[in-house]
Structure 1
Amino acid sequence: MSIGANDYSTPDEEVIFYLDLSTDFTKEKRVRKAIKEFISEYNELHSSVSYGLIMFKKNKEIYSLLDENQEKLLESVSETWEQREKEYSYFENGLYYVLAYVFQKSRTEPKVYRIIVLSDNPSSQTNEYHTALYNLILKCKNFSTYIDIIRLGNQKFYEDDVKLKIIASETFGGVLYCRDDKELKTYLLSLTESRREYSMREITTGEIDKSNTLFYERLATDLISLTSEDTKICLICKEEICQICGKPNDTLHKCYSCNVAFHHCCAAHYSAKNNIGIPYIFRCPNCGALLKIEEKYVLPLFEKDTEEIEKKPRESFLLDEKILAQEKVSINQANIEEELIKKTEEQKEKRIKVGGYFGSEIVLGKDKSAKMIKKTRKSKEMSDTKTEDKKQKISITKLNPPVSNQSVKFCPLCGEAVKGSQFCPKCGSKID
């Protein structure tokens, strides 16, 4: 189940631009114009979108503007352009910052996050940085987050090409290579078109890797106690006393973000069906905050389902065994009846042969009377074979040879055999 899956309203979307531009390949005016065109078209395709900007200043100072409107974003690009880092790329560090923001915001509200990186210089960070970033990317897959990278520069190949493609592909994004800064606007607009179908799509996942359990436990927040001012009605069962267990001691607790109340029993049943991939961590059905309850409340529900699943095949197996046993009894009864009939018939009459193996068969009854029955099948077959042999052994002298309607004559001049003609076909002589 996706971490974005919920019963509340459709989540908003935030597009974050990370400008990792440390060379003079492109100018501020062109970048600003391309982003403005992108925002204009994106707003026509999507509603309720906010924007953000990440950029490194000199001395590795990070500048961030997040969850703001487009006017603020465009102003920030102009104001911070000359202050940006112009020697080194801090590609991994910038993405760390963005993903940390995504995780933090996802604790209280689910969103679709589009991260667009403009980079013109390969990172000089060690492989340890990339490995750490990749581990965060794998966690990011469980949120509705997409990363697209546009590499600006006129080179055909870059030393970090493989790294960029791995990062983008893990989040259903892509890597584009813009070798002419005049085409930057075209590349940005192509991202708008290619992501229309993904804008509100949820990334579906199975169970979360156990090695990441602690990470999600720290992101989620426990249900907290109600105050005297809170409404004492459960959001799920709509009652003050739990309608599932009926126990008055199942006290209400609430979501820290929106203050709606839950019974532990109701929350456990809801989490069992609507968790994020960890049975006891779920999103508040009212506000989307990431919540957790004690594992002991949820696991018995899973164990019960497992027992029912295991019980059904066992019952089916026992039923099959019963059917087979009944079939065996029926077969045995049929065999016994057949044997009894056979023995009874043998007692009633006795058969003997007269005249050797191919002779006639006589049946002697209890009254000592005898009657002849038809010849055996084998003797009949032998008789039929002899008859066929007799039919085949006919003297050749009794067969009449075929009579020809035409006579053959020989040419008196050349000796050629002529048939059906008065003239020889070879020499032309007339034949009498």
Structure 2
Amino acid sequence: MASEDILVFLAVDKEFTSMDAIIKSLADFFQLKASKDPTDRFNVVFFLDQGPVFLEDFTFQYQLLVDKLNENKDKVAKPNLEGGLFIALTFILDIYKLVSGKYFRILVIRDASMPPITKDFLVNGLLDKVSQMPVFLDFIDVGVYQDDDEQKILNMINTSRGGELMYVTTFQELEDALKRQAEKKEIEVGLWDKGPNFDMEYEHKRFFEDLASDLQPVEQVTGDMKCTVCFQSTSPVCGTDALVQCPACKTPFHDCCLVSWAEQSNIGIGHVFRCPICFYLIDLPEFLVQDILNGKEESYEGFESFLEEIDQDALLMERDKKRELDLVQKELDF
């Protein structure tokens, strides 16, 4: 089962809810979830007077999140549900471009300080797009005795890949709800474990095509620079000497040599796929992929075992150990 990147949105106000109790419950949740799968990563979103803040990337080091929450617990301010969800979703979009094979989850812990929901249509529009990644959405309402927005929240959950709305009135009930949320989400098929004939729904294709980055031409080719797929200067597929590179890791390839990799690793759109080295979301010209796969050019079959040796989780863990992540603040557009 795929590992999960889970973002906890603390839609709470210190004037309504005990931050010490919330933080303790979250610390136990992070620890439990990490013990079930050490490849899961975590993040939090919460509001200060200046607006929403979150860690600049998902992290395996959940104690860092607990420390950041403790440092800011006396500053936590009244949240904006739609704004916080929109920040969470756009953040996940940025991360999706960088990593593959993940479930994304947003867990909202909400108290009675929330103002009425008025811009849920903005959240639902984005949820409809990212649900394909997939993105799951769950709510735990703490001490909310009359929920006039229940149907709007249920609509958001249904627009995502799925989730549930849970009501708790005590912190023991919150801890029990979080234990339930520590379990893995299950889904039959998606962009991370697709079958060989998986094809993305037509209405979502343009969104993901726009999300992917074009390969960049290598302007200066040095004498020892070769394609990372065929390990040759001249492509055995189409005879080109020209190299392109991933915009993220700068690894060089022949574009036509990448077609075989695109065929087996695309996200349900034949020319949109992951860089085989850094997993960044990239694309090839659609006509090139079609020409090679339709037999006008031969594809290259000699690199599959090399690619299978790359362990994304190990790379992410190693990078996480070397970084000093901090909170970043975003301004809301609405």
**TM-score, normalised with respect to structure 2:** 0.74
1:358-401 CA distance string (max 9 Å, x none): xxxxxxxxxxxxxxxxxxxxxxxxxxxxxxxxxxxxxxxxxxxx
Cross-structure match for 1:289: 280
Cross-structure match for 1:256: 247
**Contact 1:45 / 1:196 at 8 angstroms: preserved in 2?**
no
Match of 1:151 among 132, 141, 152: 141
Unaligned runs of 5+ in 2: 297-334
Structure 2 vs 1, CA of residues 252 and 133 (structure 1 numbering), >3 Å: closer, same or farther? same
Mapping of residues 136-147 of structure 1, within 5 Å: 136-147=126-137
Mapping of residues 338-353 of structure 1, within 5 Å: none
Mapping of residues 197-216 of structure 1, within 5 Å: 202=192, 204=194, 206-210=199-203, 213=206, 215-216=207-208
Quick one: higher RCO (CA 8 Å, sep 6+), 1 or 2?
A: 2
User: Which residue identity lines up with residue 84 of structure 1 in the other structure?
Assistant: V
1:274-302 CA distance string (max 9 Å, x none): 32222221111222110112222123356
Give 3-state SS (helix, strand or coil) of 2:73's partner.
helix
Cross-structure match for 2:258: 267
Q: CA deviation at 1:303?
A: 6.3
Distance 1:85 1:182 in 2: 24
Match of 2:162 among 172, 196, 215: 172
Match of 1:221 among 191, 205, 213: 213
Distance 2:30 2:223 in 1: 42
Structure 2 vs 1, CA of residues 206 and 172 (structure 1 numbering), >3 Å: closer, same or farther? farther
Cross-structure match for 1:93: 83
Distance 1:38 1:270 in 2: 38
Q: CA deviation at 1:230?
A: 8.5
Distance 1:203 1:25 in 2: 42
1:146-203 CA distance string (max 9 Å, x none): 2221111252x5222122223224223222111223321111011113x2667x9846
Distance 1:212 1:184 in 2: 39
Structure 2 vs 1, CA of residues 231 and 261 (structure 1 numbering), >3 Å: closer, same or farther? farther
Percent sequence identity over matched residues? 22
Distance 1:79 1:114 in 2: 25
**Contact 2:14 / 2:73 at 8 angstroms: preserved in 1?**
no
User: Which residue identity lines up with residue 209 of structure 1 in the other structure?
Assistant: Y
Structure 2 vs 1, CA of residues 49 and 293 (structure 1 numbering), >3 Å: closer, same or farther? same
More helix by share: 1
Mapping of residues 23-422 of structure 1, within 5 Å: 24-58=15-49, 61-65=51-55, 66-68=57-59, 69-86=61-78, 89-110=79-100, 111-121=102-112, 122-126=114-118, 129-155=119-145, 157-169=146-158, 170-193=160-183, 195=184, 202=192, 204=194, 206-210=199-203, 213=206, 215-226=207-218, 227-229=220-222, 232-245=225-238, 247=239, 249=240, 251-301=242-292
| Residue correspondences, number | 285
User: Which residue identity lines up with residue 151 of structure 1 in the other structure?
Assistant: D
Structure 2 vs 1, CA of residues 221 and 146 (structure 1 numbering), >3 Å: closer, same or farther? same
Distance 1:25 1:184 in 2: 15
Cross-structure match for 1:325: none
1:334-374 CA distance string (max 9 Å, x none): xxxxxxxxxxxxxxxxxxxxxxxxxxxxxxxxxxxxxxxxx
Give 3-state SS (helix, strand or coil) of 2:181's partner.
helix
User: Which residue identity lines up with residue 98 of structure 2 in the other structure?
Assistant: T
User: Which residue identity lines up with residue 290 of structure 1 in the other structure?
Assistant: L
User: Which residue identity lines up with residue 175 of structure 2 in the other structure?
Assistant: K
Give 3-state SS (helix, strand or coil) of 2:277's partner.
coil
Structure 2 vs 1, CA of residues 298 and 56 (structure 1 numbering), >3 Å: closer, same or farther? same
User: Which residue identity lines up with residue 156 of structure 2 in the other structure?
Assistant: I
Structure 2 vs 1, CA of residues 231 and 125 (structure 1 numbering), >3 Å: closer, same or farther? farther
**Contact 2:199 / 2:269 at 8 angstroms: preserved in 1?**
no
**Contact 1:17 / 1:117 at 8 angstroms: preserved in 2?**
yes
Structure 2 vs 1, CA of residues 123 and 304 (structure 1 numbering), >3 Å: closer, same or farther? farther
**Contact 1:120 / 1:151 at 8 angstroms: preserved in 2?**
yes
**Contact 1:275 / 1:283 at 8 angstroms: preserved in 2?**
yes
User: Which residue identity lines up with residue 233 of structure 1 in the other structure?
Assistant: K
**TM-score, normalised with respect to structure 1:** 0.59
Distance 1:174 1:225 in 2: 46
1:116-166 CA distance string (max 9 Å, x none): 11012454242xx212211211221222432221111252x5222122223
Give 3-state SS (helix, strand or coil) of 1:171's partner.
coil
Structure 2 vs 1, CA of residues 84 and 23 (structure 1 numbering), >3 Å: closer, same or farther? closer
Structure 2 vs 1, CA of residues 147 and 203 (structure 1 numbering), >3 Å: closer, same or farther? farther
Give 3-state SS (helix, strand or coil) of 2:267's partner.
coil
More displaced, 38-47 or 216-225? 216-225
